[in-house]
DNA sequence: TGCTAAATCTCGAAC
DNA sequence: GTTCGAGGTTTAGCA
């Protein structure tokens, strides 16, 4: 066992003790958790005021700050990574100010009571992998183009056109060009319009016959009508199915690898 | 002083102690903070795997869960409010599973070491107010239409048209119809296209002369060209200025109120 | 409930 | 640096 002590905790510290503790921790690039009664002022891209209440404040080693109320997924106030901190005890209040430039903004958090104060150096090199993202769907279609339709042949992907990027670009069995727009969930009006934009652009640079296909698990209400009006098509495809196919393709590669290595 | 003890803390608890403590806390609808070495599996709209590492886990009283790595604003895994929890100690691992229906998904967090475990009942009724949002800009223009231009008269706002909602809709001093699209920050190509969409629609239902004005603090590069090509206009307006005007209008109302109350 | 658009969106990649 | 688009986006508002 290691005798590393990654977390140091104070319960109900005075405002002065808390300020010292936080300064020390931040100077060592540790993360800090603060629980107590506080109020918050934010000025920057917008401005906000949060009246007093009991909250959880998290300061991370990269200089990001989160103020969490006891409910809800989102922090009520925050600041992204890269902040500089000023911590002080002024009379009965502990004040932590996090500021950054570009955009210039700052969050001032004031406590009149701290229930819990912890500092910690956390070691986290664990890999994070997410499956069934839009790019997984794209890769699955490139790996197995019949997911789109029999006879489809991809030419390129993430192809730059004037208005943006075409997800997948290819030729169908009849030799017609196909522009494919992929969405990982129910596709709305915006997806149809985005595809139309790309198709219209490609029309200006080619005289070949051209199809536009929107790939998504399903369409929002009214979007099929819009697609039809725009002369576009819809192909239903589940992101999970794509993730499965990719997983299988990885397995195949592994099998391949071992067959080569151990003949 | 109150003798309420809102926070209870354990340092380096065993897996069994931790499981008991968490079950107890969640049954009382308390919030829980866990710091330790953990790995996470998520299955639901997508699926993800997070390899072991030291992280901060927050479970709130409304059943939301956040897994935070020691860096970055965003949680690496999470679950929104309304989850049900299963907590267990299995051999050397503490397992917390948060699941919900609609969409059906679950996050499984497994710890093999807990550094810090706290439960807390936080009281937070503080009011939160945010200024300088897009709707503040809209309200400011409705309150003082000369922010757009002298002689502008709003007719309606959030008006539904086929492609979406027109932010503000009015008449200029020459009697021409004006469609206004508001952005609270640098407006990009998409904002210009959105405005064009609305203007084009309104053109199909009226024969009156029609202007489209994009209101934003500034334009992204190349967007002025696009606007000109589309026959649209740009009016620079700072969200802060709008917030100030709204604040002043609130003050005016207060002044009004007191003058009526105390003649 | 479903859909639309905003957000102090954040984050990453590409130019 | 700016711009663009994805996100397990979340959240709020409205039909």
Along the 263 residues of chain A, how does pLDDT read in single tens digits?
Answer: 567 899 999 999 999 999 999 999 999 999 999 999 999 999 999 999 999 999 999 999 999 999 999 999 999 999 999 999 999 999 999 999 999 999 999 999 999 999 999 999 999 999 999 999 999 999 999 999 999 999 999 998 888 777 778 899 999 999 999 999 999 999 999 899 899 988 988 888 888 999 999 999 999 999 999 999 999 999 999 999 999 898 888 777 655 555 554 43
CATH class of A134-257: alpha beta
A189 touches chain B (CB under 8 A): yes
Q: Which of the pair, B172 or A205, is modelled with greater confidence?
A: B172
The minimal CB distance from A49 to the residues B76, B129, B132 is found for B129
Query: Which residues in chain B (95-114) have CB-CB distances under 8 A to chain A?
Result: none
Domain ranges of chain B: 7-120, 134-258
Q: Which of the pair, B257 or B149, is modelled with greater confidence?
A: B149
Domain B134-258: give its CATH architecture: 3-Layer(aba) Sandwich (3.40)
Q: Which two tokens stand for residue A227?
A: 């697609």
A59: nearest Cα among A15, A9, A109 = A109
Residue carrying the six token digits 């570009």: A102
User: Cβ separation of A64 and B76 shorter than 8 Å?
Assistant: no
- Find the mean pLDDT for residues B150-172: 89
pLDDT, position A42: 97
pLDDT at B139 over 60: yes
Domain B7-120: give its CATH architecture: Distorted Sandwich (2.70)
Helix (H) or strand (E) holding B100: strand B93-100
DSSP for residue B6: -
Residue B262's pLDDT band (boundaries 50, 70, 90)? very low
Q: Percent of chain B beyond pLDDT 70?
A: 94
Bridge-based pairing of strands B84-90 and B31-43 is: unpaired
> Using the CA of B191, which nucleotide's C1' is the nearest one?
C5
User: Cβ separation of B35 and A35 shorter than 8 Å?
Assistant: no
Residue nearest C3, CA–C1′ metric = A220
- Strand D contacts (Cβ < 7 A) comprise A 72-74, 102, 130, 133-135, 163-165, 184-185; B 42, 44-46, 48, 77-81, 105, 107, 158, 160, 186, 188-190, 220-222
The CA distance from B176 to the nearest CA of chain A, in Å, is 29
Q: Percent of chain B beyond pLDDT 90?
A: 79
pLDDT at B263 over 50: no
pLDDT, position B156: 87
Residue nearest C4, CA–C1′ metric = B164
pLDDT, position A262: 42
Note the pLDDT tens digit of each residue in B52-87: 999 999 999 999 999 999 999 999 999 999 999 999
What values do phi and psi take at A167, rounded to 5? Answer: -55, -60
- Find the mean pLDDT for residues B34-39: 98
Query: Which residues in chain B (35-74) have CB-CB distances under 8 A to chain A?
Result: 35, 39, 45-56, 58, 60-62, 64, 66, 68-73
The CA distance from B115 to the nearest CA of chain A, in Å, is 6
pLDDT, position A212: 96
**How far apart (Å, rounded) are the C-alpha atoms in residues B89 and B230?**
64
DSSP for residue B83: -
Contacts of B47 in chain A (CB under 8 A): 130-132, 243
């Amino acid at each position: 066992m290691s005798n590393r002590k990654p977390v140091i905790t104070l319960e109900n510290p005075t405002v002065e003790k808390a300020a010292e503790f936080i300064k020390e921790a931040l100077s060592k690039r540790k993360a800090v958790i603060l629980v107590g009664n506080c109020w918050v002022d934010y000025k920057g891209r917008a401005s906000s005021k949060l009246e007093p209440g009991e909250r959880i404040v998290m300061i991370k080693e990269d200089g990001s700050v989160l103020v969490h109320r006891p409910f809800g997924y989102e922090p009520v106030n925050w600041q992204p990574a890269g902040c500089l901190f000023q911590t002080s005890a002024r009379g009965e209040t502990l004040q932590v100010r996090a500021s950054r430039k570009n955009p210039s903004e700052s969050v001032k958090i004031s406590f009149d009571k701290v229930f819990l104060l912890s500092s910690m150096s956390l070691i986290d090199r664990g890999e994070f992998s997410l499956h069934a993202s839009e790019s997984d769907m794209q890769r699955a279609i490139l790996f197995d183009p019949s997911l789109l339709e029999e006879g489809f042949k991809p030419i390129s992907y993430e192809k730059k056109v004037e208005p943006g990027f075409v997800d997948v670009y290819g030729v169908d069995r009849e030799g017609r060009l196909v522009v494919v727009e992929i969405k990982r969930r129910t596709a709305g009006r915006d997806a149809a319009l985005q595809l139309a934009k790309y198709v219209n652009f490609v029309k200006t640079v080619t005289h070949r016959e051209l199809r536009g296909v929107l790939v998504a698990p399903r369409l929002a209400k009214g979007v099929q009508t819009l697609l039809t009006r725009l002369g576009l098509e819809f192909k239903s495809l589940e992101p999970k199915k794509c993730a499965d196919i990719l997983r299988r393709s990885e397995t195949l590669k592994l099998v391949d690898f071992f067959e080569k290595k151990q003949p």
